[in-house]
Chain A
Amino acid sequence: MAVTLRVNGKEQSVETEPDTPLLYVLRDDLALNGAKYGCGLGQCGACTVLVDDKPVLSCLTPLMLLEGRSITTVEGLGTVGKPGPMQQAFIEEQAAQCGYCIPGMMMRAEALVRRNPDAGDTEIRDALEANLCRCGTHSRILKAVARARDLKRGGGA
């Protein structure tokens, strides 16, 4: 079955079994690294991506539900050469240890600040509750998201 998606602004036709979770479509078919496999159970948030601006656990979302939808992964937020505000903020705060959970954190935070550009510290913390970090980088992640919010509000990048 072929499903047409818009991934990071680009039309993509994917030909694979319709029950395939979006995570494997992104990683296996489209060679995107951003969404990570963490649990496959919707418990950790490492696979979080945006579907039409909403945070979605890609490990639990089958391809068949996504015809015509718009998907954003961390690759859609900017590049190494030209990082977007969310990426810039995480670099400036050095908000990573192993970094494995970070793209999922960034995508959930991106959804929050798109929905609520004035999100306060409590809202940031609440939004990230669904995502796990094992290195103990939480404090820096919170600071990075607040910085990204400010960068976006200031019209940066």
Chain B
Amino acid sequence: MNALSRRGLLKGAGALVVSFSMSRAFAQEGEVAGGAPKEAVPELPGALAQSPFLDSWIRIEADGSIKVFTGKAELGQGVKTAILQVAAEELEVEPRAIEMITADTGQTPNEGYTAGSQSMPNSATAVRNAAAQARALLIGQAAGRWSLDPATLRAENGSVIAPNGETLSYGALVSSTLLHVEAQPQSPLKAPDQLRQIGQSMQRIDIPGKVTGGEAYVQDMRMTGMVHARVVRPPSYGAQLQAVDTAGVDAMPGVVGVVRDGDFLAVVADKEFRAIKAMRMLAKAAQWSESETLPDSSALPDFLRQLPREDGTVASEGTPVPSAHTYEASFTRPYQAHGSIGPSCAVALWEDERMTVWSHTQGVYPDQKAIGEMLELGPDRLRVVHREGSGCYGHNGADDAAADAALIAQRFPGRPVRVQWMREQEHGWEPLGPAMVTQVRAGIDASGQISEWNYELWSNTHSTRPGPAGALLAGRHSAKRFAPEEPELEITKSGNGDRNSVPLYVSPSKQVVWHFLKDMPLRVSALRGLGAYANVFSIESTMDELALLAKTDPVAFRLKHLEDLRAKAVVEEAATRFGWSNEPLPQNTGRGFGFARYKNFAAYCAIALEAEIDPISGRVQVKRVVSAIDSGQAVNPDGIRNQTEGGILQSLSWTLFEAVPFDRTRVTGIDWSTYPILRFSGVPASVEVHVIDRPGEPFLGSGEAAQGPMAGAIANAIRHATGLRLTDLPFSRERVRAALMQAAGTELTQNG
């Protein structure tokens, strides 16, 4: 592992909350600043840099039991299993010998958010190295007891074994201080050919419970004396509570109490359905003033382009060479929802002046800070524990539900309060993936090489996560009225709205500007891939247009403009496995290709697909998809396939179906009929994912690599099938039909 590049990676990770110890912070500054260099301080791998003590990650008891701690959360992406595998590998124990403890401010390291495909690069890397160092310490202990050279000893199945066959168990070797040491920069990692767990498609440890009705989610928690709460949210972003008569609700069966705090309104009942009925009654009793705060959704791109903006230069490199042909286009992406199948939920308990919150948040420590600010509770009095929820794909209502539960629970000491959001609340209040506009002008020279690349994007920030109490709905709506943080333009290596806005492809000049929009009329935040989805869609659409201008096959055109051998390898793998060719296809059927290296430094993903367009209805049916992904050393290949298949199908759903509707006052996409998503009839007949394993290379993460390439591949297949370059997402039936009719009309006019 290249430790220096890992540091660069961490520094660029905008969403990651890091808390260096002071000495390490200075050490890092010294390296970066250079100046009068002292002895270089070597880097610690992954998140060990933030939490260097081995026993922050691994604890072994005298009875031999082993606990592994990660500050990352299982979100359905399989990270708990993958981290278990790397720990078992380097500790030389069976996976079942390890108990995994995930994100919990009371127990685990602070690893910020579980986001950005960073759990494998940061947490799994830390655990793997910590486990290898722990093994070495245990072997060292045994060597001392036996007065033998540690090099003659080996670890196996929870014991250290001497050449004569004598064994000492880890439990017998460990002491309370053995692992309470800071990690070393170098770890005795097992060689790639010695691996037994890493690289195996171990079955996920959470699936058996989930398919048999086990207590798998925060929604399933049932604590003694628990009560059920429902929040009555304002009908629109700008609404204010004018009056509410709670007498009728108070008298309803099972109602424990009504909570009003400013514009925050909730009801608590002994049973869940009673809470729902009381919520409905309370909603009827509440009088709100509403105002028109939203833009005209039918002219969204124009609205975004005219908003006040701050410009950030993402890239300004090289000088263009003269173009023989240029291509110019603008692409748009609407507001899109996370749309978790299970609306957000949390349980909170206020007891002995201390709060515990169980939440499916992506960030237990950031929530501890935000909820703590809201309730004026220091970290010693507030613990946030991760419990799984429905898949989130970014910043959904999880943190808000956690804050709701905490705010309510403080009024009912000693009673666990379970808050379950309703469907319309999740759809209506979750922070959406921001709408975006992009503008590209690119060219090719006479030899068919890219001659220039000019790109602009208009977008809000893609992260308004907690941190501050104003990031929480309960914080904003409560009488204290915590204000949302002013968003700030920041150009980082990993990117935000500008993520993947600089093409990986070779060009003599690349000019990329982010027109950063501060006004956020709709609530927005991180949705899987951030800006990479719209940026890669724009870039990959443009690449196909340039390939057409160059009269070159689109796959060959991409290969011609890639220098990175691993990038070329995934493009070639996807094309070969797909059977990419220029053979004619049946009428109305097209091939499309898309590629990106996520963040330009993480996983490589290429996608080839075939789609059929029904010219009458405008329906786009993706028939088969073949992809290749390289996310470094593959810990669990089936886990990578599962994540990539999921990314492909979710991106297909965004790309063909999804746009959040709203009028001038309210978000009107509040359920699955007003915000339709992919159903089984739209699922391709086959989705193949080919994992390119890179033993010995760093873990790159996999969760978000497919989103952008899939959108590009679909757009390119439609272009191939129909000749139409569609630039506005989503490619709904109505839109495709209208474009086809318009094209047919133009043709008639021209021919007539």
Which residues of A are in contact with B by a Cβ distance under 8 Å?
16-17, 20-21, 24, 27-28, 31-34, 36-41, 43-44, 46, 73-75, 77-80, 83, 87, 90-91, 94, 96-103, 106, 125-126, 128-129, 131-140, 142
Contacts and interface: CB of A to CB of B under 8 A. Distances in A.
A102 B208 CA distance: 11
B683 A99 contact: no
A40 to B, nearest CB: 6
B679 interface: yes
B433 interface: no
A128 B680 contact: yes
Interface string B205-218: 01111111111110
B453 interface: no
B342 A36 contact: yes
B646 A90 contact: no
A148 to B, nearest CB: 11
Contacts of A125: 680-681, 683
Nearest to A83: B212
A134 B647 CA distance: 10
A136 to B, nearest CB: 3
B271 A94 contact: no
B673 interface: yes
A102 B646 contact: no
A139 B645 contact: yes
A142 to B, nearest CB: 7
15 contacts: A33-B215, A34-B213, A38-B343, A44-B341, A80-B208, A80-B209, A91-B211, A97-B77, A98-B341, A100-B76, A100-B341, A126-B680, A133-B341, A136-B648, A136-B678
Given A16-B273, A83-B208, A129-B679, 12 more contacts: A16-B271, A27-B272, A33-B220, A74-B213, A91-B207, A96-B76, A97-B78, A103-B210, A103-B211, A129-B681, A134-B391, A135-B646
A139 to B, nearest CB: 5
Contacts of A80: 208-209, 212, 214
A98 B681 contact: no
A88 to B, nearest CB: 9
A103 B216 CA distance: 12
Interface string B636-660: 0010001101111110110000000
A134 B271 contact: no
Contacts of B213: 32-34, 73-75, 103
Given A44-B672, A94-B204, A97-B391, A79 B212 contact: yes
A139 B75 contact: no
Residue in A36, A74, A125, A138 whose Cβ sees the most chain B Cβ within 10 Å: A138
B423 A40 contact: yes
Interface in B206-254: 206-217, 219-220, 222, 228, 253
B680 A138 contact: yes
A137 B212 contact: no
Contacts of B201: 94
Contact of A96 (B204, B253, B686): B204
Contact of A37 (B76, B207, B342, B638): B342
B727 interface: no
Residue in B75, B220, B388 whose Cβ sees the most chain A Cβ within 10 Å: B220
Nearest to A134: B341
Nearest to A141: B680
B638 to A, nearest CB: 6
A94 B680 CA distance: 18
B273 A24 contact: yes
Interface in B366-398: 388-391, 393
B492 interface: no
Interface in B595-646: 638, 642-643, 645-646
Contacts of B638: 94
A90 B213 CA distance: 13
B687 interface: yes
A136 B391 CA distance: 10
Q: What does DSSP make chain A's interface, helix, strand, loop or mixed?
A: loop
Nearest to B342: A100
B677 interface: yes
Contact of B680 (A91, A129, A135): A129
Residue in B201, B679, B681 whose Cβ sees the most chain A Cβ within 10 Å: B679
A41 B424 CA distance: 10
Contacts of B393: 134
A46 B341 CA distance: 8
Nearest to B673: A43
A97 B679 CA distance: 16
A126 B389 CA distance: 28
A140 B650 CA distance: 14
A84 to B, nearest CB: 9
Given A101-B341, A137-B642, A96 B211 contact: yes
Interface in B682-716: 683-684, 686-687
B671 interface: yes
A82 to B, nearest CB: 9
A87 B211 contact: yes
Nearest to B683: A138
B671 A41 contact: yes
Contacts of A128: 680
Nearest to B636: A94
A49 to B, nearest CB: 11
B507 interface: no
For the complex of A and B, 7 pairs with smallest distance between CB atoms: A98-B76, A136-B649, A98-B391, A99-B210, A136-B646, A75-B213, A34-B213
Contact of A46 (B78, B342, B680): B342
A150 B214 CA distance: 25
B340 interface: yes
B391 A94 contact: no
Contacts of A75: 212-213
Contacts of A44: 341, 672
Nearest to A38: B341
B467 interface: no
B339 interface: yes
B447 to A, nearest CB: 41
Contacts of B204: 94, 96
A2 B693 CA distance: 59
Given A94-B203, A137-B646, A139-B683, A31 B222 contact: yes
Contacts of B496: none
A38 B423 contact: yes
Contacts of B210: 96, 99, 102-103
A23 to B, nearest CB: 9
Contacts of B343: 37-38
Contacts of B341: 36, 38, 44, 46, 98, 100-101, 132-134
Given A134-B393, A139-B645, A38 B273 contact: no
B246 to A, nearest CB: 21
Contacts of A140: 642, 645
A126 B681 CA distance: 7
Contact of A134 (B207, B276, B390, B684): B390
B337 to A, nearest CB: 10
Interface in B410-427: 420, 422-423
A93 to B, nearest CB: 10
A102 B653 CA distance: 19
Nearest to B653: A136
A98 B388 contact: yes
Nearest to A79: B212
B211 A97 contact: no
